[in-house]
Structure 1
Amino acid sequence: MGHPHLPTTEAVVVAIHEVAHEFDLEMVVTDDIGADQTSRRVSAGAFTVLDPDGSLPHEAFVELGGLPSVTVQVFPEDDAKITVDQVEFHDVPRDAVPAFLRSVYSGLAHVKGKRFPPGYWLIVPLPGDETYRELVPRIMLSPWLARNVRR
């Protein structure tokens, strides 16, 4: 796991921005700051506004232009949800987000189809033998996903 540690939501957004710049993609960021704004707060009590370190919890939603359609939701709890053409990858460690996006945009990510049991998997290889796999709902094989099928 040779990822640089991305301690804050902001650091992840900066890293995503670098990937967007590298692949010449447009990027739109929506920030939600404060416990009342973020979508989930597993570690905070019901009336807690600050994180234990005294900072406001910060969540960001990033939309990247180009194909495939990609969004990244960065949570205050050290992980992110990356959606590639409606295929959702939950619990991606923050530190893995830039490598994950590079894999998608550089053409390493691909779809593997199986006859038995029938189904398609979106496979996103990362450096260092780390791989993310997610089942593609059959009805959602977008043109980008279909083009990247390998048998």
Structure 2
Amino acid sequence: MTHHPHLPTTESAVTAIRAVAAEYRRTVAVTEDIGADRTSRRTAAPLFSVTDPDGSLPHEAFVELGGSPVIGVRLFPEGDAQITVDGVEFHDLPRDHVPPFLTSVYGGLAFVKGRFFPPGYKLCVPLAGDETYQEHVPGVSLTPWLSGRVR
């Protein structure tokens, strides 16, 4: 199997998430789907095939972290991830950005930016270096966790 060194396997990504959760005393529930027939999407494999072109089985996992904020992480076989923080969805994150993303949220670096016009809020999650993920907060009301982070 050929894996890019900067794209860890699903297992190693789950292990890294567990480590961050343990550091911040969060509970972790992992749902793992193994096999092409059980993943939510398939882009790499041809129709009706069971393995990816490199012969590996695709592997997807969903990780829920307890406490506030409510965080869900979906790890896709293609090496990307989706993180939901209190209902705010961050799509297409590289898998190796997931642990620093969680550390930023739990470490108190994440913040909410609000605007009067057009009205709305953005959840901003800065990573080490100068990268910041920003996503719009759906709806008009903020959860207690989000409203505690408005700047």
TM range (shorter): over 0.9
- Aligned partner of 2:16 in structure 1 is 15
- Aligned partner of 2:42 in structure 1 is 41
Q: Deviation of residue 140 (structure 1)?
A: 4.4
Unaligned runs of 5+ in 2: none
Q: Deviation of residue 100 (structure 1)?
A: 0.4
1:128 to 2:129 alignment: yes
Q: Deviation of residue 69 (structure 1)?
A: 0.1
Q: C-alpha distance in 2, partners of 1:139/1:62?
A: 27
Q: Contact between 1:29 and 1:60, CA under 8 Å: does it hold in 2?
A: yes
Residue by residue over 1:29-65, the C-alpha shift from the partner in whole angstroms, topping out at 9 and shown as x without a partner, is 0000000000010111111101222221000000001
- Aligned partner of 2:106 in structure 1 is 105
Unaligned runs of 5+ in 1: none
The residue matched to 2:36 in structure 1 has which SS? coil
- Between the two proteins, the alignment pairs up a number of residues equal to 147
The one-letter amino acid of 1:24's match is R
Q: C-alpha distance in 2, partners of 1:57/1:132?
A: 27
Residue by residue over 1:66-99, the C-alpha shift from the partner in whole angstroms, topping out at 9 and shown as x without a partner, is 1100000000011000000010000011010000
Q: Name which of structure 1's ranges 108-117 and 96-105 shifts more when overlaid on structure 2.
A: 108-117
Cα distance change on mapping 1:41 and 1:107 into 2, 3 Å: same
Q: Contact between 1:120 and 1:138, CA under 8 Å: does it hold in 2?
A: no
1:54 to 2:59 alignment: no
What's the RMSD between the two structures over aligned residues?
1.1
Cα distance change on mapping 1:74 and 1:56 into 2, 3 Å: same
The residue matched to 1:138 in structure 2 has which SS? coil
Q: Contact between 2:120 and 2:140, CA under 8 Å: does it hold in 1?
A: no
- Alignment TM-score, normalising by the size of structure 2: 0.94
- Alignment TM-score, normalising by the size of structure 1: 0.94
Equivalent pairs: percent with the same residue? 67
The residue matched to 1:149 in structure 2 has which SS? coil
Q: C-alpha distance in 2, partners of 1:19/1:140?
A: 29
Residue by residue over 1:92-120, the C-alpha shift from the partner in whole angstroms, topping out at 9 and shown as x without a partner, is 11010000000010100010111122210
